[in-house]
Amino acid sequence: MRVACIGECMIELADAPGGVARAYGGDTLNTAVYLARLAGGRGVAVDYVTALGDDPYSDEMLAGWRAEGIGTERVRRTPGRVPGLYMIRTGAGGERSFYYWRSAAPARELFDGPAGHALVDALAGYDWLYVSGITLGVLTVEGRLALFETLRRASAKGARIAFDSNYRPRLWEDAEEARAAMGVALGWADLALPGFDDERALHGDRDAAATAARIGRAGPREIVVKNGPGEIVVVAEGAATTVSVDPHPDPVDTTAAGDSFNAGYLAARIAGADPVAAARAGAALARRVVGYRGAVIPADAMADLAAEA
């Protein structure tokens, strides 16, 4: 079983006692790390697909991913470039604000040119492809079209496509551009993993059930709507189920809550769990993650969940 998570990883700076802490993060990268921890020892190979520079920070990223058991064969390196950067400010209740410096990041050109065309060919051979609205938003127009072709070709060969909309307005010219691009991605997706807040902001949905119904009309047959820390709407085989879960009583940092949920859900589904059980597995991991600062928590902090996966 081969899974490719496609997107951008950036240098992460976050407020910390006495100063600023540095780490690395990105929505699809966070999912790749957690998925590798949960499923990597069970015959699931997780590759991360992105573009980096030839700088020391890119070297550190690659070393860290390899230490997590993530494959880096599909990482494109661009001489003279450096990754994007973002800053997290965390407020009361663990809610966070993000500030980005990414306009010259090499990940924007991941699918451009001859190297991008070769990547399209390579990705068509995977069993699962995982992408997000952030993946779409950071790419050039040429790259976005190439990614759509990747999804088409992979789907034609039997791959399954998982998509989380992860709407970030600043990545798009306007909401209409975002809706159009995400609509194309959903047309190829087998599994949709949206957050309700993002869907309400982009589409004006009144509730999570309306989000699930609209996405179902777009194509995916399995839909999981994350609706805050305590509720998940799961649609599978034409039936909708609302799953209630216990939220963390005192969240420290909600960064990567959705990304880790997606990893827990995917790991469980790949292992054969039904969608409701997979939603509970995803929620359990997300609940653990929000109890720590930063996008990626220490591996030993989730060792029990990995052993149960």
DSSP per-residue string spanning 52-107: E-SSHHHHHHHHHHHHTT-B-TT-EE-TT----EEEEEE-GGG-EEEEEE-TT-GG
C-alpha to C-alpha distance for 258 and 47, rounded to whole angstroms: 19
* Helix (H) or strand (E) segment spanning residue 189: none
Cα–Cα distances in angstroms (integers) from residue 193 to residues 20, 68, 80, 165, 189, in the given order: 32, 24, 36, 7, 10
Tell me which of 59, 197, 259, 274 is the catalytic residue.
Answer: 259
259 assigned to active site: yes
The H or E element spanning position 130 is: strand 128-132
The two tokens of residue 98 are: 């993000």
Which is it for the CA torsion 226, 165, 202, 297, positive or negative? positive
- DSSP E strand stretches across the chain: 2-6, 10-16, 19-25, 45-49, 51-52, 76-77, 85-90, 96-101, 128-132, 160-164, 191-192, 222-227, 231-236, 239-244
Residue with tokens 């420290």: 252
Cβ(189)–Cβ(163) below 8 Å: yes
Give catalytic residue positions: 259
